Structure 1
Amino acid sequence: MLHFALLGPMEIRVDGEVRTPSPPMARRVLAVLLTHAYRVVPTELLIDELWGEHPPKRARKTVQTYICHLRKALGGDGGSGPGGGDPVETHPYGYRLRLQGCQSDVWLFQERVRAGREALARGEASEGVATLRSGLELWRGAALEGVETGTVLGARATRLEELRMRALEQRVAGELALGRHHSLLEEIRDLASQHPLNEEFCAQLMTAASACGQRGEALGAYARMRRAMAEQLGLEPSERLRELQRDILTGQGESPSARTAARGPGRSGEPGAPFHLPAAIGDFVGRLDELDRIERAVSGDGRASEVRVVTVTGSPGVGKTEAALQVAHRLRGRFPDGQLRGLLCRKDRTPRDPGEVLGELLAAVGYDRAVLPERVDDLARMFRGWAAGRRFLLVLDDAVSRDQVVPLLPAGTDNTVIVTSRCRLSGLPGSVTDVELGPLPEAVSRQLLTQVIGPTRARREPAAVSAVVAKCEGMPAAVRAVGGRIATWPHRSLADFAARLEDDGQRLEELSSPHLDMRRYLVESADRLPRSARDVLAALGRAATAEVTVADLALGLCRSTSSIERSVELLAAFHVVRPVVRDGGYVLRLAPLIRLAFAGGGHTAPAPELAAR
């Protein structure tokens, strides 16, 4: 029998005999196959993990060599795994491990964590704690210890460590629920010291210390957490932690999480319904038709048999989030059970896992994080169960794909979801309305700039106002950025700013502000695209002419026409490329600001020069 161990140094055993591959690269390939259990792993993904953006010329051949090493290690000299057959299956575009009859400490850990959480959720604390403890005992060190990790394995290892941390938090929470405060106090002190920014461990230390009559230590733990968060993150502790501190100061021994568990998340119509949307901006202008379409879809004129979903899409900086928030705040009274927001990308533009977002939403409506399940399906069921019978609005901001959105959709025909995204989202379930935002008309852009710089100054130089907004290309973010710069210099003429924007080499810098690096913002908008599409985008940005054909790109990038067309379709879906009819055929055109961003070296790989037509 094959046994794979990844929760610590990698160890592979075949019928009890150690068969861990010795070549480091072969271990990395095996780790990728194992962390994508039961799925075919594309060769391209293996190449990305092993060499990143700079693979060798014979990368595919080298991967085949590593697969050969694995087959020998896992199947012996004959190359057959347990039960016969090749232990590593070859597929047209990648490889998959045959895992029938195999064991893995990762799978066993995940199963015990799931079972432990379910026991805690049923109120069976002793069983839940024992099961979680047995799962945590499988760890022999850091995940994938001794295996060099690239982007793929690094993310998987981080995910395993996060699961381990959550399981530890839940095991401690379960033991506190059993009244084991004294026996846990020393362990929680160590955990809080090792993880000074972990609010869960801080709350548990405060709870245990207070229950043991050590209020000074409980308050000291809060003070250390607050100081660490202020110094390292510039943030204050959560409301939950602040409430726990107030309870200890006033002599109330029960923690907020215990009270929440006793009464459950708030029911429909309670005064504490969660309204967590950020404020809408005050200088919003235009978009009357689009806002009307969004509002009619959200309001539910006409009965829907499913949850209402409104997608708001458009190019970077066009104002999708602002439009969604405008409608949401106008219609707050229609949603007595709250308005929630889920951020689907991090500040560095990387997508967030749906399970992470669901955990935040469930915590926002009153669930204790310590007893939430780990699997996305279980979290989704819990969220749908909370949503049923309620009437609330959910804003999902900056979605990357349909698959990221679907687990987050609530149940109930009285609920509505607004999804903002840079790409078109097809195939979403529910009663779906699609609203696409284009550039602001020039008149609306002039109105916005006038609001930012003041009407008196705008009236003095109307021609310069028109020249400035023309270079912003209907992008509200650009208008606000340059308007803020103009307002900073009250005695400088608008004509001077307009002249600066005429310089293509400096325009993006002139349209930036302390809060917005326009070049970086536009370049990072392409980071979610696959490498093949980014190559096409870079080639378009550096072309000698503003209009390029598919044939030009195929020749310059040494790719097939069909391959280029697939990349163009994806770029069009992301609102960065527009096919235009010309002389009976199509030419491709980038928005000028995006073209400037990529002409300035916004792509990591060199793009070929395309001749002017």
Structure 2
Amino acid sequence: MLGRLEVWQGGERLRLGGPRECALLAALLLRANEIASVSYLVDAVWERPPASPETNVRTYVSQLRRRLGRGSRGPSRLVTTQGGYQLTVRPDEFDVGVFEEALERADAAFHRGHWERATADYSRALDLWRGDPLGDQPVGARLRGVLDGLAERWLVAVERFTRAKFELGAHDEVIRLIRELLPRHFLREELWRLLLLALCGSNRPAEALDAYATMRRRFADELGVEPNERLRQLHEEILRGDHVRDGSVVRTRSSTGWRPPGGRVCQLPADLGDFTERAAPMRQLTEAIGNGAVGAPPVVVVSGGPGVGKSALVLHVAHQLAGRFPDGQLYLDLRGTSEAPRESAVLLAEMLGALGFTGSQVPDGVAARAGLFRSLLSDRRMLVVLDDAADARQVRPLLPAGGGCVVLVTSRQLLTDVMPAYHVELGPLREDEARTLLTRIIGPVRAAAEPVEVTELVRACGHLPLAIRIAAGRLVGRPAWPLRLLTRRLADESRRLTELSPGGLGLRASFQASVRSLPPDVARAFHLLGLLGPHTLPSWVVAPLLDRAHEELCAQDVVDALVDANLLAQCGVDDTGTPRYRLHDLLRAHAVEGAAAIPVGKRRAAVSRVVGVWLDLVRRAVEGMPPSSFDPPRFAAPRAALPPDVASRMTAEPLRWFDAERAALVGAVELAVRWEIDELAWELAATLAPYLDFRSRYDDWDRVHRLAVQAARRTANRRGEAVLLRGIAQVHIHRDEYGAAIRLLSRSRALCRQIGDKRGESRAVAGLGVVARLLDRRGVARDEYGSRRARTALHG
């Protein structure tokens, strides 16, 4: 089973049946000599069982029994018992059994430090491995979990075998083994640690530093995480000039450190093989860099939100330009999004070490180190890449002074304080670029087979390169999956971030790194903004979210902080001159997840305050519009308001304001209904009627009123229901759907009679008269118009 399933008897390989029969045999083997229940076998064989799985199990068992023949303990190896089925197999007949026995002996020797014995037993176990158990064969979730456990057991065994080899001093063999494993298992930090130790043990510290840089880049680009503390400490030790001897880290005798061959520094991590060209930002970068004019060195800051591919773009451009810099390239990871961004003093020491200055040659203090660094680069032409900067304070000491150098900086912050600098803001990929990236990773044949799903998948990923790489990685690791399967799983917004964060890493970790650096109020505002939905929003919504409705400047400061952190995007200015903002869909999903930590009552109160302010603004705007027969109701919905001068300024041109806010206001009604803020929901919907009628927005009118009817009925608010039914009836009248209008108006009239609302009843009667007139039922219309209630409605 350690590879594709094979059964041998007397030196002859037996023919097996189809994949389900093979899955059944595998499930029985993993419970060899025990009773396997039918329910266990069903869960092991099918992800989605057929209508009568027990019948299928009996058929497969019968076929297997004929194939396997007699065993050593009875007439048949496979027998039926009262509780299920039992397959008889000796441990030495089954490779998984032999594998587990050898690993038990090897683990015991490993934990005692008996390296030679451990190496021999691990080697016996690993020789049995022919690939992933059962390969790509379809199986049920229960069996898949066991098979994944076997694969993990094998990987741990490989790590321990490699460690034992290292302890025996076989450094070159360890390096070869690990480099064969890393392309498929690059997340295994123990493998990276052993590789660094083995390279140092072979007196190849430069390669060790390069390997660490490659690992850091891949972890950051593909998962948005840092190496563990043990690896970071080892990296610092190598930078200080330490080396490995007999498996332990000791101080080197040399105080001058090592110099790269020929005195040229080449620290750039490897370029991405599947990098997708981004014409506009690449053109901006290359134009900003120019030819390294005399004077202050060009500094280019590439900023953007998490996962947009800043580092990948900068590294790609850096590799293209590397030939222009005869003295080489310096690369530093500033870890700006980690919990502890690296100090400038430590970063300067790292760069000085790369230039040949270590130990006592490195002066104390940031200023002295920065001065030495500038002196060393004053007459050199070098490319300096500063990746993942936290802020301008961290970057400034790392800038050379010589005009022959160029500095490329990436950051999730805008870093407008780095002067002089050319700033390039990077956003998600265009759709054609996103499709190209996915196609390059999964292969053109697979992409061409499902072109529609390719488009849907990259859209579900928000065109973020990191998200697309994670999704594509899942597809590459599951060649039997059709693209539509992953597309369906990503269609659920509530689970999308989980699907794109395997093992809790990936997008979620990348987003969290950005949020972690925010001040508490700003982080709280980010999480609460996610609750407001996918619409573009004005900045004022932050004030009521934070219960600071009278602090307009505070709201703008919070919005500016989110924009500077590239967590909130400004998406233009509306017709009233108000900037609009929006959360990227995946960031919004992360914000909603984070908001779950806020008590539900406080979340509901925050949403209620925002909708209450919208209701107040809608009332003000309606009062500035031409008179309407749909004058807004005034009842008991909770109120919230911005300062009067701010609200008046915003609604000074009512129709312009309504046009700009229309989508957000429809979303506000939906939000209030979802959060069961029922009074606000129905009153806001009803108050929107004059504008929706004036602009003939019948679809929106119908939608918000029907949603709000749910809220009114939920609280048995018959007055609210009656008002909303009249509004929906008016939409039907505009659409010449008179039968529906009569039914709704009659229901509204009946509700008003029940609660004694004569004015509301009169309006419903007047509406019925309008319908009768339009249908040319003049007698009916005359009766309706002539009623006392209709006169009350028409003349107030």
Shorter-chain-normalised TM-score: which range? 0.5 to 0.7
Which residue number corresponds to residue 45 of structure 1? none
Which residue number corresponds to residue 424 of structure 1? 414
Q: Judging changes above 3 Å, is the alpha-carbon distance between structure 1 residues 231 and 569 closer, same or farther for their aligned structure 2 residues? A: closer
In the alignment of these two chains, the number of paired residues is 372
Which residue number corresponds to residue 256 of structure 1? 254
Separation in 2 of the partners of 1:476 and 1:510? 15
Separation in 1 of the partners of 2:265 and 2:295? 25
1:460 aligns with 2:449: yes
Which residue number corresponds to residue 594 of structure 1? 587
Q: CA deviation at 1:244?
A: 9.1
Structure 1 gap segments, 5+ residues each? 1-198, 204-229, 247-253
Q: CA deviation at 1:429?
A: 3.5
Q: CA deviation at 1:272?
A: 2.6
Which residue number corresponds to residue 664 of structure 2? none
1:564 aligns with 2:555: yes
1:310 to 281, 293, 300: 300
User: In the alignment, is the contact (CA less than 8 A) between 2:257 and 2:356 conserved in 1?
Assistant: no
2:532 to 543, 547, 563: 543
Structure 2 letter corresponding to 1:528:
S
Which residue number corresponds to residue 479 of structure 1? 468
Alignment deviations for residues 285-315 of structure 1 (CA, whole Å, 9 cap, x no partner):
02123223222333426x3421111111111
2:346 to 356, 366, 379: 356
1:553 to 521, 542, 560: 542
The SS at the match of 1:410 is coil
User: In the alignment, is the contact (CA less than 8 A) between 2:542 and 2:559 conserved in 1?
Assistant: no
User: In the alignment, is the contact (CA less than 8 A) between 2:336 and 2:389 conserved in 1?
Assistant: no
Separation in 2 of the partners of 1:445 and 1:400? 28
The SS at the match of 1:526 is helix
Q: Judging changes above 3 Å, is the alpha-carbon distance between structure 1 residues 482 and 597 closer, same or farther for their aligned structure 2 residues? A: same
Q: Judging changes above 3 Å, is the alpha-carbon distance between structure 1 residues 233 and 402 closer, same or farther for their aligned structure 2 residues? A: closer
Structure 1 letter corresponding to 2:581:
L
Q: CA deviation at 1:551?
A: 3.1
User: In the alignment, is the contact (CA less than 8 A) between 2:300 and 2:407 conserved in 1?
Assistant: yes
Q: CA deviation at 1:519?
A: 2.0
Alignment deviations for residues 36-77 of structure 1 (CA, whole Å, 9 cap, x no partner):
xxxxxxxxxxxxxxxxxxxxxxxxxxxxxxxxxxxxxxxxxx
Separation in 1 of the partners of 2:597 and 2:395? 29
Which residue number corresponds to residue 273 of structure 1? 264
Higher RCO structure (Cα 8 Å, ≥6 apart): 1
The SS at the match of 1:495 is helix
Identity %: 34
1:573 aligns with 2:571: no
Q: Judging changes above 3 Å, is the alpha-carbon distance between structure 1 residues 371 and 532 closer, same or farther for their aligned structure 2 residues? A: same
Which residue number corresponds to residue 327 of structure 1? 317
1:501 aligns with 2:499: no
User: In the alignment, is the contact (CA less than 8 A) between 2:498 and 2:504 conserved in 1?
Assistant: no
Q: CA deviation at 1:529?
A: 1.8
Separation in 2 of the partners of 1:304 and 1:457? 50
Separation in 1 of the partners of 2:307 and 2:569? 17
Q: Judging changes above 3 Å, is the alpha-carbon distance between structure 1 residues 577 and 545 closer, same or farther for their aligned structure 2 residues? A: same
Structure 2 letter corresponding to 1:503:
D
Q: CA deviation at 1:245?
A: 6.4
Q: Judging changes above 3 Å, is the alpha-carbon distance between structure 1 residues 579 and 324 closer, same or farther for their aligned structure 2 residues? A: closer
Which residue number corresponds to residue 650 of structure 2? none
Q: Judging changes above 3 Å, is the alpha-carbon distance between structure 1 residues 309 and 233 closer, same or farther for their aligned structure 2 residues? A: closer
Q: CA deviation at 1:490?
A: 1.8
Separation in 2 of the partners of 1:546 and 1:352? 37
User: In the alignment, is the contact (CA less than 8 A) between 2:489 and 2:499 conserved in 1?
Assistant: yes
Q: CA deviation at 1:545?
A: 5.9
Alignment deviations for residues 485-543 of structure 1 (CA, whole Å, 9 cap, x no partner):
11222222211211111101111112234594322321221211222221221110122
TM-score, normalised relative to structure 1 = 0.56
Structure 2 letter corresponding to 1:282:
G
Structure 1 letter corresponding to 2:431:
E
Alignment deviations for residues 99-151 of structure 1 (CA, whole Å, 9 cap, x no partner):
xxxxxxxxxxxxxxxxxxxxxxxxxxxxxxxxxxxxxxxxxxxxxxxxxxxxx
The SS at the match of 2:338 is coil
Q: Judging changes above 3 Å, is the alpha-carbon distance between structure 1 residues 523 and 232 closer, same or farther for their aligned structure 2 residues? A: closer
User: In the alignment, is the contact (CA less than 8 A) between 2:540 and 2:556 conserved in 1?
Assistant: no
Structure-to-structure mapping, 1:130-209, within 5 angstroms: none
Q: CA deviation at 1:346?
A: 6.3
Separation in 1 of the partners of 2:389 and 2:433? 27
The SS at the match of 1:331 is helix
1:300 to 261, 285, 291: 291
Q: CA deviation at 1:605?
A: 5.4
The SS at the match of 1:294 is helix
Q: Judging changes above 3 Å, is the alpha-carbon distance between structure 1 residues 256 and 292 closer, same or farther for their aligned structure 2 residues? A: farther
Q: Judging changes above 3 Å, is the alpha-carbon distance between structure 1 residues 442 and 523 closer, same or farther for their aligned structure 2 residues? A: same
1:409 aligns with 2:399: yes
TM-score, normalised relative to structure 2 = 0.44
Structure 1 letter corresponding to 2:569:
R
Separation in 2 of the partners of 1:596 and 1:359? 40
Q: CA deviation at 1:583?
A: 5.4
Which residue number corresponds to residue 286 of structure 1? 277
Separation in 1 of the partners of 2:455 and 2:478? 19
Structure-to-structure mapping, 1:227-246, within 5 angstroms: 233=231, 238=238
Q: Judging changes above 3 Å, is the alpha-carbon distance between structure 1 residues 446 and 259 closer, same or farther for their aligned structure 2 residues? A: closer
Which residue number corresponds to residue 187 of structure 1? none
Task: Tell me whether 310-319 or 366-375 shows the greater mean CA deviation.
Answer: 366-375
Larger radius of gyration: 2
Separation in 1 of the partners of 2:408 and 2:439? 30
1:434 to 408, 423, 426: 423
Tell me the C-alpha RMSD between the 2 structures: 3.1
Task: Tell me whether 594-603 or 292-301 shows the greater mean CA deviation.
Answer: 292-301
Which residue number corresponds to residue 626 of structure 2? none
Separation in 1 of the partners of 2:417 and 2:367? 19
The SS at the match of 1:555 is helix
The SS at the match of 2:388 is strand
